[in-house]
Structure 1
Amino acid sequence: MDDMNSISVSQGFVDGRFGFEEIQDQNYYDANRQLTQTGIRYNNDYFGFKRQNTQVNYRRTFAKEGKEWTADFTYNGGTNGGANDISNQLYFADGNANGAAVLVRNEGVGNGRQYTFQTDYVNPISENSKLELGARSYHNISNDKLDVFSVANSGNTKLPLSNNYGFKEMINAVYGNYSNALGKRWKYQAGLRFEYSKFDGELKDSAQKFGYTYPNKSSGIWNAFFPSLYLTYQLKEGHDLQINFSRRIRRPNFWQINPYTDISDPQNIRKGNPALQPEFTNSFEVNYNRVYDKGNFLISAYYRNNTQDITQFTDTIGSELLAQLSSAGITPTALVSTFINADRTNRSGLELTWQHKFSPAFDISPNLNFQYRDVKATVNNINLNNYGFNWNARLTMNYKIVKPDSKLLNNISFQLMGEYESPRVIPQGRMKAQQSMDFAIRKDFLKNNAGTLTFNVQDVFNSRIMGTITDTDRFYQDSYRRWNVRTIRLTFSYRFGNKDLQIFKRREGGDGEGGGEG
């Protein structure tokens, strides 16, 4: 518009579809580990979606460097739909069919719209001090309908698994942040965020309503404030000590609250819990940071108190749900996993991070985290308290070939990333250890390195598996699951023009977590 006022409009469209085929072999044993029956289950899923995104951004700068005001509007909307066919056939131990195959078909459609209004103001008051203010309003409207049918020669029979689910979510927040220095050694940053959020859900066919309002009469208005405070003291050049506190909120995601019942695995049924409430984290940290010529070393001691911690809960299938699923090939030995709000989870630990550049071409970043976890939860008067020690380690290594005289080898980069996580406790048992490794090669070429060719292997040894041991008075289960297998990608990208995209970079906050810094 002029030297100090800019406005931009962007529009995006996405059209996608995917599908998968799953074959599950089943073996059933009695208490003496004698084979009683076998089974085979076929699961075919196909799904499509269309989405569009509109952004309108306004930016006002001032003669004073760093001072600016922005106002933005973002719209995301789209539709989705698909179907899922499940066939399950059981056999006696001698190989003869145990009844006819069970056929189930799922048909689903949905639509959603998200609106975000946000404005931010930044003013560097002096060389060391800065004031930031902002407000954000987020609105999410979603409707999803699922029809589940038992397929037989006599026709399709609609099952009680079907649901017609809709919700409206609103999050309004205002926030401020102020940073300054006290003398030559002290720096501080203080932030405060006030938030009002509301979630209204409904199972339309049964007129069952659920949700939450925060703050409500019982929680009190003071619980809607999310403060943060960071104090930094420079011991000497390159040696900093920091103490900080922050309070945050995390809301349940779509799948955690969606009451959809997933029967793709007949022994492990999964469903969401529409009655879930947000969880809150009070975080305390003491950090020591040592900066030197070739890198830095960071030691962090922390304590995090999560109230109403969102966690998974598994139980044997109830008689009511079993009756609803009798036409879907579900047996009384099935387990049902959902999500609950634990009373609290406390985590305390020590984290070590080192970043070191051995040469302009080679650097490493190892990380170690040692943690003690204490979980407290009660469901149906059942004590699910648990505690234990866990640790994890990560290592990232980067190497770049710089040979201007060689067009082939110059600007080739290598990256290797490895991670290990030890077993950790959950309310009903423990998560198994996990390990994985990723590898990538990148080559920049063409004029001004505008072209990039990347070869990437995720999970080199195909070891990224999430395992769980659930150990209760009523049942014991040793299981594992993986969302992705080893993936190999070859990507080419080309950058052209001299476009400044800084105007599109927005501040985070609002729809996911709330913190004092906004």
Structure 2
Amino acid sequence: TNTSDYNSRRFDGYGNEKPATGAERATGGGSTQFYTVQTDFVNPLSATVKFESGLRVAYRDYGSWNDNFRQLPPGSSYLALPATAVEFNFNDVVYAAYGSYSQQIKKFSYQLGLRLERSSYSGALVTKNEQFGNDYPVSLFPSVYLSQALSDKQDLQLNYSRKINRPGFFQILPFVDFSDSLNLAIGNPALKPEFTQLMELTYSHRFSKDHSILATAYGRYSDELITRYQYKGANTDPARTDSVIYNSYANADKSYIYGLELTGKNNLTPWWEISSSVNLFNVVLEAGNIPGASKEALFSWFAKMNHSFKIPAHFTLQVTGDYQAKTILPANSGRANSSGFGGGMYGFSQNLSQGYIKPIYGIDIALRKDFFKNKSLSATLQVNDILRSRSFETHAETAFFAQDNYRLRDPQVLRLSVNWRFGKFDAALIKRKNTRSDSDNGQMQQGVGQ
């Protein structure tokens, strides 16, 4: 069982604090069963030809319960809010089979792949006697990877793939999160998976061992894009009769993203290396099927630079800065992030169907120390967002409301990690494991406040 307590302070437009409304408490728990059976087969037909195949079955069963409480009046004992109690169970099963064939022909290589997948999902909101479900008899996910060496220093690649992104646990959990009492968060158990087709054309040029550039033109098309959705509804708190904003998820009709990404790597000195990238892209989000939303289009860009300095005594210092311009969908995502949007159990949605995400920027710093001659042991000390500038700000607007949201979460977090590498690393094994269904993306967690 998990318990989370929330104390909110509210201010008017002039900065004057409003009367306290009482603390909220959320309790919850659950159980999880996760079974996976997988087999892989690899057959190198020759030195330049290889065939791979595999089968996989994944079954997940989740059960959860959640309750909300409030102090009425402030400072008194907690009283239960029965209207917000939730008992939600769901299970899904994915059957998948894949095969790939690759060949090297002089300076040209290719890989053709196909994954067949059958899946079903069923959920039950016990407290309201509601049923939910999706069933996909057979879905095909082809992939094509072509590569041509133009010279010893130049390569050209063309890739195509189709993928699936299933909703995460918190995206479908129909539990009201009171961590922000004026912006309640609730999952949507009727969410469907989104399907994405991606095509990339990449040109790489290695000018020397110290300087190289990579240029990628890409396009991404998604059906049933999982997107953040806000709506105005009655307050479920019996102590209030006003309306509040609910943050949830919905499937938008479709989205298009196309752009150009440039990446460079430069070793200015034996001890100073710079990696930089800029991504210019345009997003079109068609969400007319969602009440209060419409078709949105916005040009945006993203830039990132990393400086790596080798310091005596086997130390390495890294300083990384990034900037994401105003957008409705970040450059590094063709889909919604599996996290949510609140301050409690939910994180932040990564795309908006009713507004835009304001610019985000920040700087991270890390110091690594390597030990032994083969550097098999390393320790890294990292601080994220050292300027406390990486705030998440959004603007949402419909015919019923306009809202600006500001959140700054976990700035200047200090992390210490130790990495010990021993034995031999089989990259091919990891690659085969990653051919499994994309159904595992998103963190499937239980209860409250995890």
**What TM-score comes out, normalization by structure 2 length?**
0.84
Distance across 1 between alignment mates of 2:2 and 2:88: 23
Distance in 2, matches of 1:228 and 1:281, equals 12
Give me the whole-angstrom Cα distance separating, in 2, the residues matched to 1:345 and 1:390.
15
1:162 aligns with 2:85: yes
Other-structure match for 1:180: 103
How far the C-alpha of 1:293 sits from its partner, in A, is 2.9
2:18 to 11, 19, 39: 39
Q: 2:159 aligns with which of 244, 260, 263?
A: 244
Cα distance between partner residues in 2 of 1:189 and 1:453:
38
C-alpha distance in structure 2 between counterparts of 1:242 and 1:200, whole Å: 41
Distance 2:290 2:381 in 1: 51
Contact 1:362 1:398 in 2 (8 A): yes
1:118 matched residue in structure 2? 38
Contact 2:6 2:24 in 1 (8 A): no
Tell whether 2:290 aligns with 1:290.
no
**Highest relative contact order (Cα 8 Å, sep 6+), 1 or 2?**
2
Q: Secondary structure at the match of 2:84?
A: coil
Q: How does 1:356-435 map to 2 (within 5 A)?
A: 356-379=266-289, 382-401=292-311, 409-425=312-328, 426-435=352-361
CA contact (8 A) 1:438 1:458 kept: yes
Superposed, 1:1-16 pairs within 5 Å as none
**C-alpha distance in 1 between matches for 2:378 and 2:201:** 41
Matched positions, count: 412
For residues 155 and 414 of structure 1, do their structure 2 counterparts lie closer, same or farther at Cα, with a shift above 3 Å needed?
closer
Structure 2 Cα separation of the partners of residues 369 and 27 of structure 1: 39
Q: CA deviation at 1:475?
A: 1.0
Matching residue's letter, 1:468: T
The answer as to 2:168 corresponding to 1:256 is no
Q: Which residue of 1 aligns with 2:252?
A: 342
Task: Indicate whether 1:105 and 2:25 are aligned.
Answer: yes
**In the alignment, is residue 266 of structure 1 matched against residue 192 of structure 2?**
no
Provide structure 2 residue ranges, at least 5 long, that are not aligned to the other structure: 329-351, 442-450
- One-letter identity of the residue aligned with 2:315: I
Letter aligned with residue 42 of structure 2: V
Contact 1:192 1:225 in 2 (8 A): yes
In structure 2, distance between residues paired with 1:252 and 1:500:
36
Q: What is the identity, as a one-letter code, of the residue corresponding to 1:181? A: Q
Change (3 A) 1:18 1:455: farther
Residue in structure 2 matched with residue 206 of structure 1 by the alignment? 128
Change (3 A) 1:237 1:18: farther
Give the equivalent residue in structure 2 for 1:76.
none
Instruction: Map 1:480-495 onto structure 2 (within 5 A).
Output: 480-491=406-417, 493=418, 495=420
RMSD: 2.7
SS in 2 for 1:205: helix
| Per-residue Cα deviation, 1:176-235 (whole angstroms, up to 9, x for no partner) | 1111133x23221110000011111111232211021113xxxxx4xx000011122222
CA drift of 1:459 comes to 1.0
**How far apart, CA to CA, are the structure 2 residues paired with 1:461 and 1:20?**
29
Structure 2 match to 1:325 = 237
Deviation at 1:171, TM superposition (A): 1.2
Q: 1:281 aligns with which of 196, 203, 208?
A: 196
Do the aligned partners of 1:138 and 1:510 also contact (CA within 8 Å) in 2? no
Tell me by how many angstroms 1:382 deviates. 4.5
Superposed displacement of residue 244, structure 1: 1.7
Deviation at 1:417, TM superposition (A): 1.1
Change in 2 beyond 3 A, CA 1:188/1:380: closer
Name the counterpart of 2:389: 463
Q: Does 1:474 align with 2:400?
A: yes
The separation in 1 between residues aligned to 2:68 and 2:361, in whole angstroms, is 37
Secondary structure, in 3 states, of the residue corresponding to 1:255? helix
Q: 1:303 to 1:447 in 2, by over 3 A?
A: closer
Counterparts of 1:353 and 1:21 in 2: how far apart (Å)? Answer: 45
2:150 is aligned to 235
The normalised TM-score by structure 1 is: 0.73
> Within 2, Cα distance between the matches of 1:18 and 1:362?
47
**1:158 positional shift:** 4.1
Q: Which amino acid aligns with 2:216?
A: S
Contact conserved, 2:5 with 2:23, CA < 8 A, in 1? no
One-letter amino acid of the structure 1 residue matched with residue 237 of structure 2: L
Amino acid at match of 1:141: D
Matching residue within 141, 144, 150 for 2:61 = 141
For 2:160 and 2:204, the matched residues in 1 are separated by 17
1:490 deviation in Å?
Answer: 3.9
Residue of structure 2 equivalent to 1:130: 50
Inter-partner Cα distance in structure 2 for 1:495 and 1:388:
45
Partners of 1:418 and 1:290 in 2: CA distance: 25
Shift of 1:483: 3.3
Q: Tell me the distance in 1 between the aligned counterparts of 2:78 and 2:222.
A: 50
Tell me, in whole angstroms, the C-alpha distance in 2 between the residues paired with 1:302 and 1:292. Answer: 23
In structure 2, what residue type is equivalent to 1:331?
D
Preserved contact between residue 193 and residue 514 of structure 1 (Cα < 8 Å):
no
Distance (whole Å) between structure 2 residues aligned to residue 176 and residue 134 of structure 1:
7
Residue from 222, 227, 233 that aligns with 1:306: 222
| CA spacing shift, 1:269–1:163, aligned 2, 3 Å | same
**Is the alpha carbon distance of 1:471 and 1:104 closer, same or farther for their aligned partners in structure 2, counting shifts above 3 Å?**
closer
Give the whole-Å Cα distance in 1 for the aligned partners of 2:125 and 2:436: 26
Counterpart-to-counterpart distance in 1, 2:216 and 2:267 = 21
Query: 1:508 and 1:358 mapped to 2: Cα distance?
Result: 36
8 Å contact from structure 1 (residues 239, 288) kept in 2: yes
Larger Cα-atom Rg: 1
